A = this chain, B = another copy of it.
Amino acid sequence: MNQPSYHEEDLGNTPDALVEEYGLSPVLVREITRSLEDESGGPRIHDLLIALHPADLAELISLLNSEQRAMLIAGIRSEFDAEVLTHLDPEIRDEILSQLGTEKSAEVISELDTDDAVEVISDLSAEEQKEIIDAIEDQETREEVKEALSYPEHSAGRLMQTDMVSIEQGWNVGQTIDYLRTNSEHLPTDFYAVFVVDSAHRPIASVMLSRIMQNNRDVSIDAIMNTDLKPFAVEVDQEEVAYVFRKYALVEAPVIDAQGVLVGVITVDDVVHVIQEESEEDLLRLGGISQQDFHAGVFDTVKRRLPWLMINIITAFFASRIIGAFEGSIEKLVTLAVLMPIVASIGGNAGTQVLTVAVRAITMRELKSTNALALVRKEVLTGFTNGLCIAAITSSAIGLWYHDVKLAAVFGAALIINLIVAALAGSLIPLFFNRMKQDPAITSGIFLTMLTDTTGFFAFLGLATIFLV
C-alpha cells in the first residue's frame, strides 16, 4: 500500500463504517486503537496517521485516552504536523506540548501563522510560554509571536495575522498582479482581498481578488475597490469582531494600530472559530459550566463545577427557609408539601425559557435599551397567559383529585403569580447584568431560580395559610 488512505474500503466495509462520510470512520478509529496496543501494527499505523488531514488527526487524538495519545505522538513525533495543534482543545494541546518538550514545541509552533502560534501557546503558564518563545530559532518569528502575545487575550490583535497584502493607491490591475507574482514568497498562502493603503500605510479600501481577476490590466484599482472598510483597532474584543463579520458578511478585515496604520488582517476562518466559541460560552454558562470541561479530568471538572453547585445550594437553603416559615401550615395540611414543588418547578422552567431568549437576544445585540421595555411587557403577558392555561388544567385536576375547590384555587393563583414573577425575573435580571457590564449568561440563572423557588413556595404556602388552614 503505497498510497495509504483512510477510507473504509481499506479497512473492511462494515455498515458502521459508512455512517460518516467526512472525516474519521469509526472503523479507522478502532483499527488505530487496536494497533496502538499491538506492537506489530507500528509501521502500518504510521502510514495511516501521516496520510490523515491535520483536522482528522486532531480528532483522532482527542478520542484517545492519555496513554494511547502518548504512544501515538511518540510514533509520529519526527513528522508531527503543526496544523494539528490548531484543531485541538486547550487541555489536550497542552498535554501534547509537554510531551513534545520545549525544543520540539518551539520548532513546531514556528511553522504556524502568528495568530495560530499565539493561540496554541496562550493557555500555557507565563513561564512555559517564555521557555517556548525563547527556544524559537528564527528571530523574526520570535519577535512576531512576542508582539502578538502583547495584545490582550481575545483581542483583534491576537486574532490577526501579520502576513498580508497591501498595495499603494493609484495602481492598476496589471501592477497589482505583477506585484503579487514577484512577491509571492512574502505573501500568505491564502488570501481573498488586497488592501489599498495611503502613504502612511493606513488602509483606505479593499479589493476582492475576484474583482481584480475580472478586469483588464489597465483598469485602475480605484475603480473597482470598496471603500466601506470596517477596520478594527488591535485591542477590540473578539466578540465585537465576530459580530461585525457576521453582520456585514465580511471575509477579511484590516486591523489598525493607534495611528491608524495597517498592522494585520483578520480572515473569516479565524472568525468562524470565535463565533463557535462565543455561542458555546453562552450555552455552557446557562448550563452552569464556567469553562468547557469535556476533556478535563475528574479533579479539574470538580474544581470547575463545585463553586457553581455551592452557590446553588445556598440559594436552595434560602428558598427552604421560606418553607420552614410555614411548617405549622404544612403540619396541619400535609398535601401542601406534596404540591408546593410543582409551583416552584413550573416557575423555574418558564423563567428559564424567558432567560434563554433574553440572553440570546443580548448576545446577538437584538435586545437593546430601545426595545427592552417592549420585551418585558410581552414576556409578562405571555407568562400571565401561560399561567392561566396551566392553572385551568392543573387546578381542575387538583380539585377533582382532592375534592377541595379552595385548595385548587390557591394552587392556581400561586402558579399564575409565579409565572408572572418568572417572566419579570427572566427578562429583567439579564438586562440588569448586561447594564452592569456583567455577562448575563453566567449570573442570571442563579438569581432566577432563587426568585422562582422562593415565590413559588411563598405564594402557595402563604395563600394556603390565609385561606385553607
Contact = CB atoms under 8 A, between A and B. Distances in A.
Dominant SS among interface residues on chain A: helix
A305 B353 contact: yes
Q: For chain A, which range describes its interface: under 10, 10 to 19, 20 to 34, or 35 or more residues?
A: 35 or more
Interface in A274-326: 275-276, 279-280, 282-284, 286-289, 292-294, 297-298, 301-302, 305-306, 308-310, 312-313, 316-317, 319-320, 323-324
Given A208-B190, A287-B355, A298 B214 contact: no
A292 B286 CA distance: 16
Given A248-B55, A283-B279, A312-B349, A298 B62 contact: no
B390 A313 contact: yes
B294 A353 contact: no
Interface string A239-274: 010011111110100000000000000001101110
B288 A286 contact: no
A87 B453 CA distance: 39
A367 B247 CA distance: 31
B316 A370 contact: no
Interface stretch (A35-43, A99-107, A338-346): A338-346
Contacts of A276: 246, 275, 279
A312 B208 contact: no
A351 to B, nearest CB: 10
A337 interface: yes
Interface stretch (A69-77, A128-136, A137-145, A177-185): A177-185
Contacts of A21: 240
A192 interface: yes
A357 B309 contact: no
A228 to B, nearest CB: 7
Given A337-B330, A339-B320, A341-B316, A192 B385 contact: no
Choose among A246, A349, A356 the residue with the greatest number of B CB atoms under 10 Å from its CB.
A349
Given A181-B216, A366-B62, A189 B210 contact: yes
Contacts of A319: 341, 345
Interface in A344-391: 344-346, 349-350, 352-353, 355-357, 360-361, 365-371, 374-375, 378, 381-382, 385-386, 389-390
Contacts of A301: 378, 382
A331 interface: yes
B212 A294 contact: no
A399 interface: no
B346 A338 contact: no
A210 B213 contact: no
23 contacts: A21-B240, A29-B368, A33-B370, A63-B371, A181-B215, A189-B210, A192-B210, A192-B251, A279-B283, A282-B283, A283-B356, A286-B287, A287-B356, A292-B357, A298-B378, A298-B382, A309-B350, A316-B345, A317-B342, A320-B342, A324-B338, A327-B335, A331-B334
